[in-house]
Amino acid sequence: MIDSLDDKSTMRFADKMQPYIEQLMSEIWPGCTIKNLRQIGSPVHSLDKDCAVDLVVSRRSGCCITIQTKCRSHSWAHKIDATMQIRKDRRKPTLNGEWSKLAAQLYFYGWANSDEPTGFCLWYLLDVMKYQSIVESHGGLEEWGKEKGWIRDNMKHGISQFVAIPMKFLAAAVCASHETTPEAMRQGRLFDHLEFQC
């Protein structure tokens, strides 16, 4: 999901990165088919609108995996945090951001290469139920964000509010990850970490 549907440059960037996400999903699940539910010029799909699902990956066995995606510019790769929208409008008390409707099974979070958009220098695939459990164990997204000072207002693209959680706090929810380090490239590793049972 993009940071702001009103921000066309962010949407264009996400669309440019989409083929690289689909390539990664095909490498994780060989032989799968992928349906992108979020495309420029197409009506908003109900799964995206109501459940924050951007991709549906169909495995050869017939099972489906739903995935929420977020792509960030290389300029943010030093942060290594997961941003999650808690309010569409920070002026209102209602918690109605993407967090309140996140029903995808997995969450792909990636930062573009320095010569973007040519792929990802760093990415994580999170188990959403584990992610939500971690957040709930800290009192909820807004409460945890306030306690840690992670709440941010979107001043560049709109009036939303989000929480930026350092990825190290979500380590127990990571089911796959990759960082393009010189060591990983020398060894030809695709994944630094991969745990899948399905």
Does residue 87 register a pLDDT over 70?
yes
Residue 18 lies in domain = 8-194
Does some domain include residue 124? yes
Do the domain assignments include residue 23?
yes
The pLDDT value given to residue 40: 65
**pLDDT exceeds 90 at position 49:** no
> Rounded to two decimals, what is the model's pTM?
0.83
Q: Which residues pair with 84 in a beta bridge?
A: 163
CB 116 within 8 A of CB 74: yes
- Write the single-letter amino acid at 36: N
Q: Is the pLDDT of residue 186 over 80?
A: no
Q: How far apart are the first and last CA of the chain?
A: 24
Specify the number of domains making up the chain: 1
pLDDT of residue 2: 42
Mean pLDDT, residues 174-189? 63
Q: Is residue 144 part of a domain?
A: yes
Mean pLDDT calculated for residue range 135-159: 90
Mean pLDDT of the 139-165 span: 89
Nearest to 110 by CA among 79, 75, 69: 69
Please tell me the predicted confidence (pLDDT) of residue 93. Answer: 75
Selection from 118, 103, 98, 105 nearest residue 196 by Cα: 105
- Percent of the chain at pLDDT above 90? 45
Tell me the one-letter amino acid at 46.
Answer: S
Structural domain contains residue 2: no
Instruction: Examine residue 1 and state whether it is found in any structural domain, yes or no.
Output: no
Residue 90, both tokens: 């920070």
pLDDT for the residue numbered 11: 74
191 and 177 Cβ atoms separated by less than 8 Å: yes
When the pLDDT of each residue in the chain is averaged and rounded to a whole number, the result is 83
- Give the pair of three-digit tokens for residue 186: 């020398």
Q: Which residues pair with 176 in a beta bridge?
A: 125, 194
Per-residue model confidence (pLDDT) at position 198: 38
Cβ count near 53 (within 10 Å): 25
* pLDDT at 191 > cutoff 90: no
The answer to whether residue 3 is domain-embedded is: no
Q: How far apart are CA 130 and CA 28, in angstroms?
A: 20
Q: Is residue 149 part of a domain?
A: yes
